[in-house]
Amino acid sequence: MRTPLVPANACWRDDKGGKHMRMKQLGLLAVVLAAGMSALVQAQGAKKPAAKSAGASKPRVFFIEPKNNATVSSPVHMKFGSSGVEIAPVPPGDITTSRPGKAHYHVGIDQDCLAPGKTIVKGTPSWVHFGDGKDVFDTQLTPGKHKLALQLGDDLHNTMPGTCQVITVNVK
Q: 142: domain CATH number?
A: 2.60.40.10
pLDDT (0 to 100) of residue 2: 54
The Cα–Cα gap between 53 and 106 comes to 23
- State whether 27 and 71 are in the same domain: no
Inform me whether the pLDDT recorded for 141 exceeds 80.
yes
- State whether 105 and 69 are in the same domain: yes
The percent of residues above 70 in pLDDT, for the chain, comes to 67
Q: Which residue has the higher pLDDT, 136 or 10?
A: 136
pLDDT in tens, 43-91: 444 333 344 444 458 999 999 999 999 999 999 999 999 999 999 999 9
Print burial letters for 64-95: b (CB count within 10 Å at least 16), e (below 16).
eebeeeeebeeebebebebebbbbbebeeeee
Q: What is the pTM of this model?
A: 0.67
Residues 13-40, mean pLDDT to the nearest whole number:
46
For residue 1, tell me if it sits in a domain: no
- State whether 127 and 152 are in the same domain: yes
- State whether 65 and 133 are in the same domain: yes
pLDDT (0 to 100) of residue 101: 94
Which secondary-structure segment (H or E) carries 147?
strand 144-153
pLDDT (0 to 100) of residue 1: 53
